[in-house]
Amino acid sequence: MNFDHSINRPKLNLTLGFALATGLILSASCGDLAIDLRDNGAAVSIAASDATIEDSSKVVLSGGLLRSKAVGTATMGCEVTGSDGASSAASSTYPFRINSSVAGSTKVHANAFTAPTFMRIQSFSLLLDKNGDPSSAMRLQFYAASGDLPSGSPLAAAVDQSISSVISDPDSPNVVTFTLASPYEASPGQYAITMRPQGAVSGIDNFAWATSNSTNSCSGFPSYKQSSNDGTTYTDDPVVSYRKSIFTVTADTHASLGSVSWIVNGNGKVNWIMSTFSFSENPSGGTAGTITYEIGVGNDSNTPSYSYSNLSQTAVRALADLTGDYLYVRATLSVSGIGFDRAVLGNGSVTVK
């Protein structure tokens, strides 16, 4: 019997079958279509610089980061009011340190305070007085503090001020503002400011920093300190240990809410792996704002729609994978309270396959 061996029959590609079983090859060709047999997806960048800022009066792009915009300034500080048991209107109610204990260029006055959150500090305003006609300029310096005392080297300094040029009448206090040479971005924590003469002063011609002697004053502030050895050691006020220096801190305030958005193109891939969603939140030190997200998918490259809202980044990562040509992301930057703090958002990414 003769057999015709020329008949075409389907053949199993043993090499491909073996590869599928063992995972030893990366791709196979079928005509012009290349199939990646290990396609686990690709990371798609979501750049801060590509965001649509919905209101430029609330969010700005600066240094490659999206930031809550500074919209003004506000003050916090040790200010004596009538409820504190002392009057800010009558100078005679303030005890001034204008005796020999403040004379000499090695004398330093200090008072600590606590930044409750991030603060971009611009200036300090102090209630000052002079005795006689001191010619020395005064220098304000800003320090980290430990145990209510200045610690380490100055973090920032203000332009020196001549007390005599600002205060014309001895024993009549004036508010004197010392502006930092550059705004200082302070993280939450304790800080201190110091005042020291930059030249000779005497028991007759010197300056004074007004303090309150009311136990009710400035309850959130530690007591005034003074040093006779250029800040090597400090002591409490020698007369009343609970005195607090009178001063205010002026810092930037930021927009309470602002939003940015992206329409992210999957470039032909439609499965968004939400567990890989990642954004750099508050990457610069000291920021304390909150960032929440709205998420959606669809086939429209112009008009986004959102299925999920008010999610933290952790909550976004907990979502099931989403399917659509485009991923819609909207981020809201918010700050609390008076707005000293600031929300900052950097770059992001997500995997699609």
Taking each continuous run of H as one helix and of E as one strand, the counts in the chain are 3, 27
Assign residue 219 a region (left: φ > 0; alpha: ψ between -120 and 50; beta: otherwise). Answer: alpha
H/E stretch holding 18 reads helix 14-22
Query: Is 115:191 a contact under the CB 8 Å cutoff?
Result: yes
pLDDT value, residue 13: 42
Query: Is 190:290 a contact under the CB 8 Å cutoff?
Result: no
Query: Is 196:103 a contact under the CB 8 Å cutoff?
Result: no
How many Cα atoms occupy the beta-carbon half-sphere of 247 within 13 Å? 30
Backbone phi, psi, residue 64, to 5°: 75, 10
Each residue's pLDDT expressed in tens, for the chain with a length of 353 residues: 444 444 444 443 433 333 334 443 333 333 333 334 345 689 999 999 999 999 999 999 999 999 999 999 999 887 655 444 333 333 333 444 433 345 556 778 899 999 988 899 999 998 887 777 777 788 899 999 999 999 999 999 998 888 777 777 666 678 889 999 999 999 889 999 998 888 767 667 777 777 776 666 676 788 888 888 888 999 887 666 667 788 889 999 999 999 999 999 999 899 999 999 999 998 866 567 899 999 999 999 999 999 999 999 999 999 999 999 999 999 999 998 888 989 999 999 999 99
Q: Tokens 């690709």 belong to which residue?
A: 42
pLDDT value, residue 126: 87
Gap between the Cα atoms of 225 and 238, Å rounded? 9
CA distances from 83 to 105, 216, 218, 219, 346 (A): 36, 8, 11, 12, 45
Residue 347: DSSP 8-state: E
H/E stretch holding 123 reads strand 119-131
pLDDT value, residue 148: 92
Three-class DSSP category at 48: helix
Return all residues near 303 (Cβ < 8 A) that are at least 6 apart: none
Three-class DSSP category at 21: helix
Query: What's the pTM value of the predicted model, to 2 decimals?
Result: 0.73
What's the token pair of residue 123?
């200036």
Gap between the Cα atoms of 140 and 121, Å rounded? 14
pLDDT value, residue 334: 96
